[in-house]
Structure 1
Amino acid sequence: MTPVDTLPLLLPHLSTATRIICMDEAAATVLDERLPQTEVFSMDPARYNGAPVDACLLLDGDVAARGVQGPVLIAKAIDTTRPGGLIAALVPSQRFTQASGKAGGMLAETLHHAMAERGLDVFTMLAPGAGANLGGRPYAGYDDITIDRTPGLLDAGPFILALAHTWKGSDERSANFFASLPMRVAAASAICFHPVTGELLCVYDNFKQGWTLPGGVVDKHESPEEGAIRECFEEAGVAVEVTAFAGLFTHSNPERLHFLYFASPVGQHWEHPQTAHPHEIDDVAWFSLDEANKKLNAYMWHKVATCLDVPGKTWPFDPNQQ
C-alpha cells in the first residue's frame, strides 16, 4: 500500500479545493490529474509562501519519521491552511511495523494527540488496509472505510490516516486543545485523628466491602480540600477542618489523582459518629493505628503510612499497592 492508494478516502473532502499542498510526489501527480482546476504543490509546507491553501496533505509519513519534531510539521501545515481547511496526516502504524520486525511508525492515539493538541478538530481516524489485512484480501479503498475506522482496529493496518479541520476561531481552537488533554478523576480523602485518643476515623464502604478512609470523587466546582471535608461529613457524619496537605497519589486504569489531607473534627457529634449516607456506608469507627493497619485495605493503609512517614509529597502509582 502507498499514499496514492489512500487518495479515494481524501477526494470527497477535496472537491471544492483550489489550492492543495501534498507531501508525496506520486500522490501530488495523481491529484493534479484528478483535480485539473486545483493547484497542487508538492512540497514541505515550511517552504510554501503563497496564499493559504484549502488542504495540506502530509502523506509521506514525515510526521512519524521526524520523531519529536513531527508536531512542528503539523504546526507548519496549520500555518499554511485557511481557517476550516483540511489537514490530513498519513503515518506508518507502529504496531504493524513492529510486527514486521521493523522500527518506526506511530500509534493512532499518539497521532490523534499530536494533531488535537495543536487545536485541530480531528473528525476521522482510520487505518487503511486494516480490514483487508485481517480478512486476508485485497484493499477495497473507500468501500473499506467503515471497518477501517473501527476504534479497535486503528493500529491494525499498515497506515493510520487522520483527517482534521483547522479552527475558525480562538474559542474553537481552545476547545479542541482542552478536549485532547488526558482526563483524570480527582478524588480526596481525610486522614482525621481523634483529638484525645489519636485514633483514625474510618468507614466501612459497602460497595468496596471493606474499611477505608472517608473520601470520594471531587465534585465539579469544588477543590480537593473541599471535597475531603464534604466526603468526611457525608460518609462519617463528622465535620472537620483540614490542618495540612498529607499527600497526593497518582493512579492509572482509570487515570486519577488521589489527594489526602490531615484533618481534625470540629463542632459536635464526632465522638460517636454516624454516617449521613447509609446507602454507601455500613459503619463508622475510630481505630487505633494498629487496628487501622489490620482493617484498612492494604493500598489505603499504605497511603496513610506513607503520608505519616513523609507528609506533603506526591507519589506515583504503584501497581503493587493497587
Structure 2
Amino acid sequence: MSLSGLLSVLHIAAAINGLLVASILIFAGKRTALRARWTLGGFLAAGSLLLAIFVLLDTGIWVFGRAIGALMEALAALLPALYLDYVLTVTGSRLRRAWLYLPVPVFTLIAIVHVDLLGSGSDFAGAILWLAFAVAASAIVYARRRPAGRPRDRLAWLIAFMIVFQLAQIARFAWPQSLILFDLVPLMGTLGVTAFVVFTLLGSRTLKTLVSPTLDGRVDPVLETALATIGNNRKWLTRNDVSLNSVAAELGVPARKLSDYLAATRGRGFRDWLKLQRIDLAAKLLVDPAERRTSIEAIGLMSGFASRSAFYVAFREVHGVTPARYRQRRLPK
C-alpha cells in the first residue's frame, strides 16, 4: 500500500471512531450536561464528517458537486459555532448563543448559489474567517474566565490545538500551490480526532463528566441533608485532611457512591464540590459585619484555603471578582 493510500485509511478510521465517540456523547449524556455534551459531540461529529468527505473526494470515490460543496460549507461553518459554544458553556457564560449558528445558513446559501467559489483558491474563505474569530474569542474567554468545576488542562489543550489548526489553515490558503500544506490540514484533523478518541478511551474524564454515571441525577433528600450539614460545618471545611473518603465515612455511604452522586446531581467531582463549599463560607464571612476588620487572607484561611493565591483564584472563578471587591460591594456601610 502506498503512503497516500495508508493516509487515506488512517483518515477514514479516525473519522469513523470520531463519529462513534460523538454519538456516545450526544445520545448517552446526562440532563445536567445537555448543552456541553451536544456541543462537544456535535463539534467532533462535524469535524469527523468533514474529514471523511475530504478523503472521499481526494481518493475519487466521490465526485465534487453542488450538493457536496454545500454540505462541506455547512460543516465548515458549523465547526467554529459548536466549538465556541462549547467553550462558552464550559466557562459558565450565560450569553444567548443562538447567533453563533447564523453563519451556517449564510455560507451554505453562498455555496449553493456560487458553487465555483468552492473550486477556487478561496474555498471556505468565509468559514475560515469565522473559525479564526471563534479561536481568538475562545482564547480571550478562557484567559478571562477559566472554568470552575472542570479540568482546566482539557479545555486548554483543545484551544491550543484549534490555534495550531487555524494557523495551518491560513498557511494552506496563503500557499495553495504547496502539496505539503494541502495535505497538512486533513492530517492535523486526523491527529486531533485520533488524540481525542484515544485519550477518552484511555481514561479521560470527558465521558465520565458528560455521560450519565451510575446514578440518574435524582436528588436523594437524606444525602442532600447530610451534605448540607457538612457544607455548613466550618470544622469540616477547614480541615487539612478532609477527603472524599473521610466525608463519605462521616455520611455513612461508600466513597464511590458519593462521588457518583455529586457527578450526577452537580456535574462535578468531590474536590470541586468542596471548593465551592469553602467559597460559600468565605463569601458569608466577607459580608459579615462582625468580620469587618478581619483581613482577606485570614478569611481565606478561615474558609479552608491553604494560601492567599489559591483563595483569590478560586473565589474569582466562582464570583468573577476578587474577595476584596466582593466585600466592598456587599458589606453594609
Q: How would you bin the TM-score normalised by the shorter chain?
A: under 0.3
Greater strand share, structure number: 1
Provide TM-score, normalisation by structure 2. 0.26
Greater helix share, structure number: 2
**More relative contact order, 1 or 2 (CA 8 Å, 6+ apart):** 2
Provide TM-score, normalisation by structure 1. 0.27
